[in-house]
Amino acid sequence: MAVVLNEALVEKEIKTKIRRVAIVISICFLFIFFRLYYLQILKGSLYSQQSVNNRIRLSSIPAPRGIMRAKTGEVLVGNKPSFDLILIPQDTPKVSETLDALAALLNLPREALQKRYEKQKGRPPFEPVTLKKDLSWDNMSLILAKKPELQGVSIDVVPTRSYASNIFAPHVFGFVGEIDRTELDRYAPEGYRMGDCIGKFGLEKWGEQYLRGVNGGLQSEVDAYGNRTKILAEVNPVAGRTITLSLVPRVQSIAETLVRDHPGAIVALEPYTGEVLAMASSPCFDPRLFARGIDAQEWLRLTNHPEHPLLNRAIQSQQPPGSVFKIITAIAALEEKVIDPSFTVFCPGYLNLGSRTFNCWKKHGHGYVNLHDAIVQSCDTYFYTLGMKLGVDTIHKYATMLGLGEKTGIELEGERPGLIPTQEWKKRRYGYPWQKGETLTVAIGQGFVLCTPLQLAAMTAAIANGSYVPRPHLVLSVDAGTPRFEPKPEKNKNITLSPKTLTIIKKALCGVVNEPGGTGGKARIPELLVGGKTGTAQVVGRRFYSASSGKVPKRFEDHAWFVALAPVEEPKIVVAVYCEHGGHGGSAAAPLAREIIRAYLLPNQQEQPQPVMLPAEETEEAD
């Protein structure tokens, strides 16, 4: 009986243990079930994404843009590193919270970060989105310190444009900017992507095919959070090609200084090759604003500025050249043999034609003057007389021969052609016949005549070399590569002027600067024989001025011009100076040309332009 009871107790105890084990096993299976449910159902999409993300990743390494340098080797436009804040959407589980954290950390507007993020939507999620360019060292340090807490956020080092400390020349160099949708559609076959920078203006745009490098690439293994664990392969980027320019840094720097405080332009050329030694336009702008994308408000400020700083006045400002144009009228009269150099005109201070009176700049007149004296003293009455003898179409013939009224062909986009009128042009344009009085105004560079500073510089170069109008150019060479580019000096057109005519004109231009009573005395340099011609272009007639105050409004003041060549006996430089609403060419423009010539031909004489006061009789305010 006792044995039977013991067996029953043992059996009962075994069943209890089995039941307990079964319960434990059931709980374990239940836990596994809930864990699987949590991992596969509740968190399945997240872990699936992280699993997919744990793979080999390809990333681009931006190539440095090619540099621009002077022929002396000085770098004019180069590159410097920019530290950019980037976010990779695929590695950022909570984009909104991350943007909030970045805005608070860097004290940036949350809306600006959101806008930058949304602007680049539609790209693959593994491609980085640039949230902020050009981080300061302090901000970069903050990001790196908090990086473990900012999933998907990183710092990217990108080469960006830098400029010589004393030279900006933004109208020449131009600027780069982020490629827009229209440009992307056009250039996508060439490998451009959203976010890339492209030349937008100036030589940056002209030389895009040369300056743009070839991006490199990095093949790396990343973990589930996008952190790089191993570099598998790397292809180094290839920098863009180097462009060598004709600009002389010392001369360019002084040109920019001279026009800095007043709207205008200065152009200096080598008269035989057409190399641009200096080209400055004012008002200017800072090209660094465009290096990594200009702010919308800053762009509006530039485009709405009343003095139009984006306008390259050297090639885009078309204005009457005033008495500088008398060079053309004199050449036409000599070549057509309507006068000889001794032909004399009496100037009482005006010329009557029909019912109209055409005044000379000198109220009481110049008296009897021949061609030489008329150029030296810039007598309007003498050139009115030549205009009547020649006719507008003959003047047009010689003006176009010397390169006026058409584009010069320089590399810069947006060059304007100017205008040299003819009888047929006026009939076609306005529907009215040409009037004799209009020929008189054309003969002194007023009326319909329009020229750019670069055109007048090229015209002066043709007179200096005596054979042809050179094609102005900035680019001397592009370093070896494909396509190869080594431009040769080109002639826009040959001129057929007699040596006698050229000798007479050069002697008169020398007199303008060096003879008593010459209107260009402020361009004189004792060590050099400088020749030139002043010009004062009237903006509106005197009857339009405000009579109440007696003061001419700034917008109605005359434009000042001066063209020069030096040394006269064997010219090595020609200069054209344009001072917008600057007043008289002799007082406003001639001193600037003097400083450019001095900087180029006498570089050791002085480093910075200094005003030179001449005797009173040599500083006439004409032209």
Catalytic residues: 323
* Contact assessment for residue 598 and residue 511, using Cβ atoms and an 8 Å cutoff: no
Cα 382 vs. chain centroid, distance in angstroms?
Answer: 41
Q: Which residues contact 300 (CB under 8 A, 6 or more apart)?
A: none
* Contact assessment for residue 411 and residue 206, using Cβ atoms and an 8 Å cutoff: yes
Q: With left for phi above 0 and alpha for psi between -120 and 50, is residue 9 left, alpha or beta?
A: alpha
Cα 616 vs. chain centroid, distance in angstroms?
Answer: 40
Q: CA 497, CA 186: separation in Å to the nearest integer?
A: 47
Tokens standing for residue 418: 């100017």
Cα 133 vs. chain centroid, distance in angstroms?
Answer: 22
Alpha helix (H) residue ranges in 476-588: 499-514
* Contact assessment for residue 264 and residue 282, using Cβ atoms and an 8 Å cutoff: yes
What number of residues does the chain have? 623
Q: Which amino acid is at 301?
A: R
3-state secondary structure of 5: helix
**Residue of 246, 245, 242 whose CA lies nearest to 480:** 242
**Residue of 386, 497, 402 whose CA lies nearest to 444:** 386
3-state secondary structure of 46: helix
Q: Which amino acid is at 119?
A: K
Q: Which amino acid is at 178?
A: E
* Contact assessment for residue 474 and residue 412, using Cβ atoms and an 8 Å cutoff: yes
Q: Give the 3-state secondary structure of 565-620.
A: EECCCCCCEEEEEEECCCCCHHHHHHHHHHHHHHHHHCCCCCCCCCCCCCCHHHCC
How many CB atoms lie under 10 A from the CB of residue 131? Answer: 24
**Phi, psi angle pair for 473, to nearest 5°:** -150, 150
**Residue of 317, 267, 271, 275 whose CA lies nearest to 562:** 267
Q: CA 445, CA 459: separation in Å to the nearest integer?
A: 14
Q: Which residues contact 421 (CB under 8 A, 6 or more apart)?
A: 392, 396, 438, 442, 447, 448, 449
Q: CA 364, CA 386: separation in Å to the nearest integer?
A: 20
Q: CA 357, CA 589: separation in Å to the nearest integer?
A: 29
Q: CA 450, CA 522: separation in Å to the nearest integer?
A: 25
